[in-house]
Structure formats: C-alpha cells, structure tokens
Amino acid sequence: MSSLLFKIRCLQPSWHHLNNFSCKQYANIAASMVYSSPKPSWSRFTQQAQFHSHQNYDKSHKEQTFFQRNRSEIKLAMGCSIALLILYSYVKYYELSNNQINSVHERVGESNILKERPKETKIAKSVVNPRDASGLKLTLYQYQTCPFCCKVRAFLDYYGFSYDVVEVNSVTRAQTRWTKYRKVPFLVVEIPGSEYGDSTVLQLKDSSVIMSALASTLRNPSDSFLTILDGYPSFYNEDNKLEFSNRYRIMYGENYREALKHPKDNATELQWRQWVDDKFVHVLSPNVYRTPTEALQAFTWFSEVGNWQELFSAWERLLVVYVGAAAMYFIGKRLKKRHRISDEPRDSLYEEANKWMKFVKSRGGEFAGGKTPNLADLSMYGVLTAIEGCDAFQDLTANTDISSWYEAMKQRVGGREGEQELVRRCRIR
C-alpha cells in the first residue's frame, strides 16, 4: 500500500500540470491505480492508509507554497476578477461611446437661425446701393483691418449689396456680447417675411462661407437663401473648432450644366481661394508687426481708417492702439515660427505674391478669373486691402509687380462691376 500511495503522491500534478489535466482526468488516473493494485487485508490497509495519509499530508502540506495549497480558490478569484474587469471595461466603453455619439449630435448641424434679434448697436458705416433689390438687410460685424473682414467687404462691394457695418472693439468686444459666436467677421442677415409672416434673422459665420453662400444665391434664382445654406453645414472638430463643409464650393443646383462647362476653372478658383486663407494671409502679420515701431504704426493707421475716434471712447481707443500693437508684435513672432516663415518676413511676402501673379498671368487676362474677377481675385484683393496703409504694403508694391493687378481690382470693386448678377437675381427670399 505504501508503494501505491507513493505513486499517487508522485503523480500529484504541479500547478503547471494542472493546466494540462482537468480535475476529472486526474481523479480517473488515481482511481485506476487503486483498483489495479493488489488488495491487502482490510485492517492492515486501513491502518497503513491512515498512517501514510496523515504523514504524507503533513509533509506535502508543509512543502507546498501558499499558491499551491490554495490554487483552486486563487483560480476562482482570478476568474471572477477578470470577468468583473471585462464587464467594467465594456460598461465604460458603452458609456463613452454614447457620450461621444450624443456630443456629436449636439455639435453637428448648428443652425444659422437666431432665436432673438441682435441687440441694437452703433452702426459705424452704411453702404447703400439703390439698385440692390434683394430685400436682404445685411449687417457685417468686423474689425476694419482684419484680412478676413476685408475679404467679405470686397465681395459685398463688388456685387453691389447694401449693408451696415458694426465696428467691434478688438479688446472689449462689447458689440458681440449678445452672441456665443464672437469671432469676426460674421454677417447678420434679415430675410423679410411675407405680409402674414415674420422675417427670418440669420447669423452667417466664416468669411469664405459667407462669400460662397451669397455667390451661390446669385446663381440660383429659383432657390431660397435657406435652401442654399443647407449646403454648408457646420460642425465642431476634435479641437472644438467650428468647421464648415463645402466652405469654398459654389452650389449650382438646377444650373449644374453651367458648372460642367468649366470644371477646371471652378476647381482652380476653389484651390486659390483656399491658398489665400491657408497660406498667403499668414505671411501678413509677421510683416505688418515685424518690429515694435511697425506694429504701432499699423495700429495708428487702423485707428484712422476705422474711425475709432468717433466709435470708441478715448481710453478704449488708446487701449486698443497700444495694447493691441504690443500684443500683435509678439503674436507676429509666434506666427512666424508656426508657419515657417523666413527670418526676414519680407522675403516670404514677396515670394507668395509672386506665386499669385504667376498664376494670374497664366490665366490669359488681367485677373485670376480671366477677363473678369472671380472669387479668388476678391479674396486676394480683400486681404491685401487690410495692409494698404502699412509699410509692408509699400515694400510689397515696390518689390513685386502686383500693383497693376491690385489697382485694376480696386477699380472693379469700387465700380460694383458684379452688380448685374444681383440685379438679375432680384428679390431673395
């Protein structure tokens, strides 16, 4: 019997072996060994079994580690822990997924329609064109010398829209406290209702979207303005920055055949409009605010052309001029590094201006649009008007051949050359 128990003890699996044998298999092996052994007398078997079992148990029990003695309980605990961990991870993943889905639904498709009319504020300037029969009441919230604001004004002037201007204090921004979206430019559009309905008030955001939406409206006389705006849905990206689909695209609707006539021209116009926003505009600040003296000179000119003496109190004007100049000097340095502009910012300014003029000449006319300006021309011209009174602009015209194109654009925009499209569109509903 001792040899039998010895065999049983020797065959006792270790923790490693237990992973390869089930408890049932192990029990079957032990049982087969017992039944295959010689059968001694009952009393002797009982005495020896009791003796050896206690002796071997004490000895093996002392030799086993804590983990070996409690392996079944440990395995059960580990299994439960893993199950709970998996369940917890699934629950958190489910909650996170739902939160993300809810967040996306809350942040996508932001409406342009205002629930309440904007609070009345001082109008800095009113541009009136008697031939504007659109019926729209437009109010542009702007900084007078912001490149993107200048771009919108160039578009409105070229097509002959009537509009009011609200000059926003760039430090206090008191004129935009009524809205959560306070980044200029934005355009408040009031569409008159029928004799039985109220008018609709919209807030259009992003300079390129404003241009694209209004240009699309002029080219689609059968579509309402709200229908056109559906083509430019807004959403917030991962950085919580407001973005727009189709920012640079013109909607042709039923007039799609017109777009098919010149697909290359449309694609080129879109490409260079984006180039103005993403590339050229970023070389302006490091040049305008290249030195403290140039920064102060620029803000002094901003004050004059923006008529700040009449619009703002003395302390507000001085605050904007001196604090703004100091702030933009340092911001210009940071932008220079971010956009990899050369150590001498003028070199980058001349290089990008020459790229533009090379493209204009390749079009076979005075403008990027050929014989008449297109939206790329209006974008480039608009951002350049923002620095017209600065030293950087004087150096630019002296060291490149952009002045001839610029002067031609000034005549076309000042003369409202594109107003025929607005006149043909008539009332915008």
Largest Cα separation within the chain, whole Å, is: 126
Q: Can you tell me the distance from the alpha carbon of 99 to that of 297, in angstroms, rounded to the nearest whole number?
A: 50
Q: How many residues does the chain have?
A: 429
C-alpha 255: how far from its chain's center?
31
**Alpha-carbon separation of residue 338 from 146, 286, 317, 333 (angstroms):** 20, 11, 30, 9
The residues that bridge with 204 in the sheet, in sequence order, are: 187
Q: Can you tell me the distance from the alpha carbon of 123 to that of 119, in angstroms, rounded to the nearest whole number?
A: 12
Q: Can you tell me the distance from the alpha carbon of 6 to that of 104, in angstroms, rounded to the nearest whole number?
A: 69
Token pair, residue 405, equals 């194109």
Q: Are 365 and 404 in contact (CB under 8 A)?
A: no
Q: Which of 278, 304, 358, 293 is nearest to 328 (CA)?
A: 293
Enzyme catalytic residues: 143, 146, 148-149
**Alpha-carbon separation of residue 364 from 86, 245, 260, 361 (angstroms):** 67, 32, 21, 6
Token pair, residue 227, equals 């229908």
Residue with tokens 């150590």: 343
Please name the residues in contact with 275: beta carbons below 8 A apart, sequence gap of 6 or more: none
Q: Which of 200, 170, 195, 165 is nearest to 182 (CA)?
A: 170
**Alpha-carbon separation of residue 175 from 68, 162, 226, 397 (angstroms):** 76, 21, 26, 35
Q: Can you tell me the distance from the alpha carbon of 243 to that of 207, in angstroms, rounded to the nearest whole number?
A: 12
